[in-house]
Amino acid sequence: MNSFLFVDLFAGIGGFHLALHQLGGQCVYASELDSFARKTYEANFKNISPSLFEKNLFRGDITLDENQECIPYNVDILCAGFPCQAFSIAGLQKGFSDSRGTLFFEIAKILKNKQPKSFLLENVRHLLKHDDGKTFDVIYNILTKELSYTVYYKIIKASDHGLPTFRPRVYIVGFRHDIEKKEEFKFPDSSSLKFTMSDVFEGECSKKIGKTIIVGGRGSGINDKRNWDAYLVDAQIKVLTPKEAKKMMGYPSDFVFPVSNTQALKQLGNSVAIDPVRAIANNILKIIK
């Protein structure tokens, strides 16, 4: 029997789903708009969470009222890796002036209407500094003052939790005001690497920890400052394929991509890293359970 219930918003290929399922959670609602990501999500979670698909609870556009109405009330954890392009260095950093940036307000609306016990949000670290910190001030004030959640946030690298990729991201954790906390929430302590890039490539790699997988700049060449996918392995240049990339991100070897390699790498570049999410969610459960 599953020990807690969660929803997976802006689900991508299901990094949150996988991490929380590993902790014994049941996903009771998910949404993802991108058709390619939906294909990958369904291929990997149809057997793990069949009711999502049997009951039409894997929805598309989260801005539609009909899709928000299907979200259950009072779930244990609401997860959302809300679109980061509006806040990232790789994008134009338009923030809330970008339609993708305004999707945060959809999360706020859902939190207000559905009142989950807690939430776990993920975004690029530059969210904290965007517009001299004003963007995050708006987010923080909405979560704490308007919605009355107790909020914690921290920049965490995937390499701090065992994975051989830096991938620094800001994680935002919140608890509903009426949740009695027997102890103060703390982000998990760092852990040592479980394996290195040599293990990823199954050969001697010149780098112990790999670069962050991103959406752009693929194939720029090992000497280009934009390079993230080319490595020196056994004195030869090797380029990341989805096989190596998913291992770097903590996905299991049997995780499948029913899309092109280009799409698969793009999807991994937009995904959350599994191990830090699982570690943070485990500490959330210590509070709410």
Q: Which positions ≥6 away from 138 have C-beta within 8 Å?
A: 96
Domain, as residue range, for 124: 4-191+273-288
Contact 196, 202 (CB under 8 A): no
Cα–Cα distance list, 123 to 2, 154, 162, 176, 253 (Å): 28, 11, 20, 21, 25
Q: Give the domain CATH number at 36.
A: 3.40.50.150
Give dist(CA 189, CA 215) in Å, integer.
29
Residue 216 sits in the same domain as residue 259: yes
Residue 93 in this model has a pLDDT that exceeds 50:
no
Residue 135 sits in the same domain as residue 230: no
Percent of the chain with pLDDT over 70: 93
Average pLDDT rounded to a whole number, residues 72-81: 94
Residue 130 sits in the same domain as residue 247: no
Residue 58 sits in the same domain as residue 93: yes
Reported as half-sphere exposure (CB side, CA atoms, 13 A), residue 11 has a value of 35
Residue 217 sits in the same domain as residue 176: no
What are the tokens at 256? 């499948």
Give residue 91's pLDDT band: very low, low, confident or very high (50, 70, 90). Answer: very low
Give residue 84's pLDDT band: very low, low, confident or very high (50, 70, 90). Answer: low
Give residue 165's pLDDT band: very low, low, confident or very high (50, 70, 90). Answer: very high
Determine whether 70 is an active site residue: no
Residue 147 sits in the same domain as residue 104: yes
Give dist(CA 231, CA 206) in Å, integer.
7
Q: Which positions ≥6 away from 25 have C-beta within 8 Å?
A: 2, 3, 4, 5, 6, 76, 77, 281
Mean pLDDT, the chain, integer: 90
Residue 114 sits in the same domain as residue 250: no
Residue 187 sits in the same domain as residue 117: yes
DSSP state at residue 205: B
The answer to which of 17-21, 66-70, 82-86 has the lowest mean pLDDT is 82-86
Contact 151, 116 (CB under 8 A): no
Cα–Cα distance list, 197 to 201, 208, 227, 235 (Å): 6, 5, 16, 14
Residue 29 in this model has a pLDDT that exceeds 60:
yes
Residue 162 in this model has a pLDDT that exceeds 60:
yes
Residue 160 sits in the same domain as residue 212: no
pLDDT for the residue numbered 41? 97
Residue 58 dihedral angles phi and psi, to the nearest 5°: -105, 95
Give dist(CA 255, CA 252) in Å, integer.
6
Amino acid at the residue 280 = I
pLDDT for the residue numbered 16? 97
Count up the domains in the chain and report the number: 2
Tens of pLDDT along 119-155?
A: 999 998 988 987 788 889 889 999 999 999 999 999 9
Of 27, 79, 84, 205, the catalytic one is 84
